[in-house]
Amino acid sequence: MDKQILILRGDGIGPEIMDQAIRVLHTIGETFGHSFHLTDGLIGGAAIDEAGTPLPEETIEKAKSSDAVLLGAVGGPKWDQNPSNLRPERGLLGIRKALDLYANLRPVKGFKTLTDASPLKREVIEGSDLLIVRELTGGLYFGRPSERRDNGNVVVDTLHYTKNEMTRIIKKAFESAELRSKKLTSVDKANVLESSKMWREIVETESKNYPDVTVEHVLVDACAMKLITSPKDFDTIVTENMFGDILSDEASVLTGSLGMLPSASLAENGVGLYEPAHGSAPDIAGQNIANPIAMILSAAMMLRHSFNLDAEATAIERAVEQAVNNGYHTKDLQVEGGTCLSTTDMTDQIIKQITKE
Ligand SMILES: NC(=O)c1ccc[n+]([C@@H]2O[C@H](COP(=O)([O-])OP(=O)(O)OC[C@H]3O[C@@H](n4cnc5c(N)ncnc54)[C@H](O)[C@@H]3O)[C@@H](O)[C@H]2O)c1
């Protein structure tokens, strides 16, 4: 199989973890007989520095003519004081909108040997395995431009959703739940927000089309609490943009580190974008200590969701699990014993497992 992949390294640890995902992809290509053609593009702070904008038009064009996009992370203190149109995060929001990446899938699965890396009790998290389906192109982050009024004394952010935007993500979540344990938790704030009331109505209507999926509604504040007190109660969670953003970072605690969580952002019939759930971690950039696993697992999600290469994706996931179960980990994971490795050495262990299979 021949595939074109746009590589957006971004900022902070983005370039160094991306290099590791590329090494893994080359190994998969050699092992399974595929050719992955990689093209580089600019996004985020790196794009601001080189092209004067966080998302050059050229990057959007390259993305649209690729089969998939792999993204490291964007942002950092260097650009924190920039005006909002020159913030790295604008690049990220912009590419999600330009490619209409409405569905963000974030699997959260703990590894046995990392159970004690979480600050939560072993008996609470052991065996937790869930999928967060987050709406990605609507809601508060994409409302009318935020504004300050009345001499800066009043601020307005707008939460905007269309029925279609809600319906397509809710359908995606039902489809995802059907492939898992057929339990869907819809998270909203229907006791306060009109948007959440409409969300709940759509979930109820759509549930009739998926009779084998059990649905429950949970308010976002209760969900935040239950996610860390009884995570095993959840399987597939669906929610709107901002709630999903917050809950998925919270869920990373179950795995021991943000550095373990991959994500896929999917369009209806277009290019998918794959990136770790974490940010650019400027505090550890350039030290070869970042955890490459979230980035590598994002590449695995790309193989599965964009290229239909399920065996290849599984080979990566198994290799990661095996390397971790062999006691190898990076510095972010606070585990007793085992061997703490650099970014590149951790990847070596994962590659070793792929070539062994
Ligand atoms: N998708 C994205 O590109 C994205 C997402 C979130 C934040 N950001 C941006 O990233 C920058 C830093 O934000 P932040 O510090 O709030 O979040 P962050 O996710 O970058 O870092 C939070 C903490 O987790 C650690 N961490 C994150 N990924 C890690 C990894 N792979 N290995 C080891 N440790 C890891 C960091 O060292 C830090 O201590 C900001 O500019 C923010 O806007 C970007």
Domains of the chain with CATH codes: 1-103+262-357 (3.40.718.10), 119-254 (3.40.718.10)
- Residue 88 is labelled as binding a ligand: yes
| 245 is annotated as an active-site residue | yes
Determine the atom of ligand 1 nearest the C-alpha atom of 276.
Answer: 1
- Residue 353 is labelled as binding a ligand: no
The torsion angles phi and psi of 333, rounded to 5 degrees, stand at -95, 115
Long-range contacts of 30-33 (CB under 8 A, 24+ apart): 31/315, 31/354, 31/355, 31/357, 32/309, 32/311, 32/312, 32/315
Measured CA to CA, the distance from residue 187 to residue 214 in angstroms comes to: 14
DSSP string, 17-75: HHHHHHHHHHHHHHHHT-EEEEEEE--HHHHHHHHSSSS-HHHHHHHHTSSEEEEEE--
In sequence order, which ranges of 33-184 are alpha helices (DSSP H)? 44-51, 57-64, 88-98, 122-125, 163-179
Query: CA 108, 327, 105 angle in degrees (round to 5)?
Result: 15
Distance 293 CA to ligand 1 centre (A): 14
pLDDT tens digit sequence for 234-268: 999 999 999 999 999 899 889 888 899 999 999 99
Cβ-based burial of 248 (10 A; exposed 0-12, middle 13-18, buried ≥19): buried
pTM attached to this predicted model: 0.91
Tell me the residue type at 337: G
In this prediction, residue 357 carries a pLDDT of: 67
The torsion angles phi and psi of 56, rounded to 5 degrees, stand at -60, 145
Pick from 283, 275, 233: nearest CA to 254: 233
Distance 248 CA to ligand 1 centre (A): 13
First and final CA of the chain: distance in angstroms?
Answer: 20
Pick from 223, 259, 230: nearest CA to 244: 223
150: helix, strand or coil: coil
- Residue 4 is labelled as binding a ligand: no
Q: Which of 40, 221, 310, 345 is catalytic?
A: 221
Tens-level pLDDT at each residue, the chain (357 residues): 899 999 999 999 999 999 999 999 999 999 999 999 999 999 999 999 999 999 999 999 999 999 999 999 999 999 999 998 899 999 999 999 999 999 999 999 888 778 888 888 888 888 899 999 999 999 999 888 888 888 889 999 999 999 999 999 999 999 999 999 999 999 999 999 999 999 999 999 999 999 999 999 999 999 999 999 999 999 999 999 999 999 998 998 898 888 999 999 999 988 999 999 999 999 999 999 999 999 999 999 999 999 999 999 999 999 999 999 999 999 998 788 889 999 999 999 999 999 986
The torsion angles phi and psi of 281, rounded to 5 degrees, stand at 40, 60
Distance 205 CA to ligand 1 centre (A): 38
What's the DSSP call for residue 231? G
Measured CA to CA, the distance from residue 242 to residue 193 in angstroms comes to: 13
In this prediction, residue 255 carries a pLDDT of: 87
Tell me the residue type at 128: S
The torsion angles phi and psi of 47, rounded to 5 degrees, stand at -75, -35
Residue of minimum CA distance from atom 38 in ligand 1: 281
Determine the atom of ligand 1 nearest the C-alpha atom of 44.
Answer: 3
Write out residues with Cβ below 6 Å of ligand 1.
13, 73-76, 89, 92, 258-259, 275, 278-284, 290-291, 294, 332
- Residue 334 is labelled as binding a ligand: no
